[in-house]
Amino acid sequence: MTAQTAETALTGQSIIAGRSVAGAGRTVSGVDPATEEALEPAYSLIDEQQLAEATAAAAEAYETVSRLDPETHATFLETIAANIDAVGDEITARAMAETGLPQARLVGERGRTVNQLRLFAAVVRQGDHRGVRVDPAKPDRQPMPRADIRQRRIPLGPVAVFGASNFPLAFSTAGGDTASALAAGCPVVFKAHNAHPGTSELVGRAVADAVASCGLPAGTFSLIYGPGRSIGQALAQDPAIAAVGFTGSRAAGTSLMAAAASREVPIPVYAEMSSINPVFVLDGAIAEEDARRTLAEGYLTSVKGSSGQLCTVPGLAFVPEGEAGDAFVAAVGEAASSAAGQTMLTSSIAESWQSGAAQLGEQAGVEVVGRGADGETQNAPAPVVFTAGSEQFLANPALHEEIFGAASLVVRYRDAEDLIAVAQKLEGQLTATLQLAESDHDVARSLVPVLEQKAGRLLANGWPTGVEVGDAMVHGGPFPATSDGRTTSVGTLAIERFLRPVAYQNLPEDLLPEPVQEANPWGLTRRVDGTIVPAD
């Protein structure tokens, strides 16, 4: 790893409302998962009193941040992106050391992080997220007059965001939850993941510097390091916090949901948790030998990419019985057997993967299709693909459990009716993928309505790994994929999680906020008396 410059030397401290603050508790260090070597500096963990300083500062900042005009607001988001770009090489080097992820993956993830900040800046300038509606007064309407009613969406308040282990940038300090919350006008208190503290500090400083240079209240953003469970629970229950953004395990996500629901004033938790992202291979897709081999290689590539540590990894594939299906599974086994393990994010994640893969392999009716070789570094277990019949899948809930890492289960189905039955048995998912030819459209037509109820994104003839950041993307799904299937954590729609509607009835013009004033000083597109009126 390259040496840090004096300007970006890591401190090992939290950033609370613009100040570097040493924690009052124990310390943790980042660890290179390829060597198990501890990385300097050690990071001191804050206690609940110090946490309260961050949340109080966020509550104080809310009044200003929630009222920013579009240009100031957008410039702030763009400044964060520019600051991250300015130290991009250092961020990449530190993230490589802390996660074992390859440079190309992290450069791409950094690009996604800054691009989504810039995308949200464009959203803020356009202003559609404000949801302005105007129903002008109709004093002569019969049988009853209509009052003047105007509606807009306002920011919820300070948001607690938890960094994900598997995305040290895109779902971390300035990632999707932070970017969408800040774009909504909500201050953010970010809890860093203890597996990549140095990466979090470098990005956190870029955000804090943008807060300062744009003249915003220091409490607009804080970065804290703390014991995962105790500080996490305290953050979710802090009365200043109005919403939570989380990406991680089902156990941790449901724990945060329970904590937020038990408050005197409950708050929403937007948690992305567990998904096995089924792939449905239909007959026509594997009718030809070349197609089978290409599909098998694509499947295995998606399973083992980033050591399988992606929330959209296809952990399950449904493949028809018969000769073509047999040949496809054999090709999958061949591809899996020639693959090598890649370094996983932490030793605990690698151990959890080993345990999950072992438990799946011990289930009745489950066999190994192909197993690769362990990688050359520590914490790099061999990719593995298993197989079972649809009867076992329908009868055994253990075959439905996520294994976070490069492992997948191929389930053999008899016919279209059998395939519909196993699809109906699935839990909520982030994605569901159809591999099909034109000859499969009748079967797919019956399957799609089932999958719409099970997943947030349906794909055809592609792979679920790789999530486009744009206006139409949905990265969410029914529980347990997420805590609220009506939302997304990726794409511009994510901003709506941190907003709520307010109506203003017969308020004098000089008391109305700018978005709903008659003069429309911010030049927003609005729905006036039911008709969309484009921005000036």
Output the DSSP codes for 377-435: STT-PPPEEEEEEHHHHHH-GGGGS--SSSEEEEEEE-SHHHHHHHHHH---EEEEEEE
**Over the stretch 394-435, which tens digit does the pLDDT of each residue have?**
999 999 999 999 999 999 999 999 999 999 999 999 999 999
- Dihedrals phi, psi of 28, to nearest 5 degrees: -135, 160
Distance from C-alpha of 310 to C-alpha of 357, rounded to nearest angstrom: 16
What pLDDT digit, counting tens, does each position of 216-274 carry? 999 999 999 998 788 999 999 999 999 999 999 999 999 999 999 999 999 999 999 99
Instruction: Tell me whether the omega of the peptide bond preceding residue 143 falls within 30 degrees of 0, making it cis.
Output: yes
pLDDT confidence of 536, banded at 50, 70, 90?
confident
Q: Which of 137, 132, 138, 84 is nearest to 111 (CA)?
A: 84
Say what the pLDDT of residue 355 is: 97
- The verdict on whether 272 is a catalytic residue reads yes
pLDDT of residue 173: 98
**CATH of the domain spanning 278-460, picked from 3.10.400.10, 3.40.309.10, 1.10.1050.10, 3.30.1490.20:** 3.40.309.10
Strand spans (E) along 237-394: 243-247, 269-272, 278-281, 316-320, 367-371, 384-389
**Which residues is 19 bridged to in the sheet?**
16
| From 6-15, 298-307, 359-368, the region with the lowest mean pLDDT | 6-15
- At 246, the amino acid letter reads F
Residue 330's pLDDT is: 97
Annotated catalytic residue, options 272, 334, 376, 438: 272
Confidence category of residue 6, pLDDT binned at 50, 70, 90: very low
* Per-residue pLDDT at 1: 31
- Residue 8: the pLDDT is 65
> What ranges in 426-522 are assigned the alpha helix state H?
441-452
> What pTM does this model have?
0.95
**pLDDT at residue 2 tops 60:** no
> What are the structural domain ranges in the chain?
13-273+488-496, 278-460
pLDDT of residue 258: 96
Q: What is the CATH number of domain 13-273+488-496?
A: 3.40.605.10
Residue-wise pLDDT for 167-176, tens only, equals 999 999 999 9
> Which pLDDT score, from 0 to 100, does residue 3 have?
36
* 8 Å CB contact between 237 and 391: no
Distant-in-sequence, close-in-space partners of 413: CB < 8 Å, separation ≥ 6: 318, 319, 320, 321, 390, 419, 422
Handedness of CA 201, 207, 213, 215 (dihedral sign): negative
Could you confirm whether 321 is annotated as catalytic?
no
**What would the pLDDT profile of 68-108 be if each residue is shown by its tens digit?**
999 999 999 999 999 999 999 999 999 999 999 999 999 99
Q: Which of 78, 186, 311, 402 is catalytic?
A: 311
Q: Tell whether the model's pLDDT for residue 7 goes beyond 60.
A: no
Q: Quick: pLDDT tens for 290-305.
A: 999 999 999 999 999 9
Instruction: Identify how many contiguous H helices and E strands the chain contains and give both numbers.
Output: 14, 23
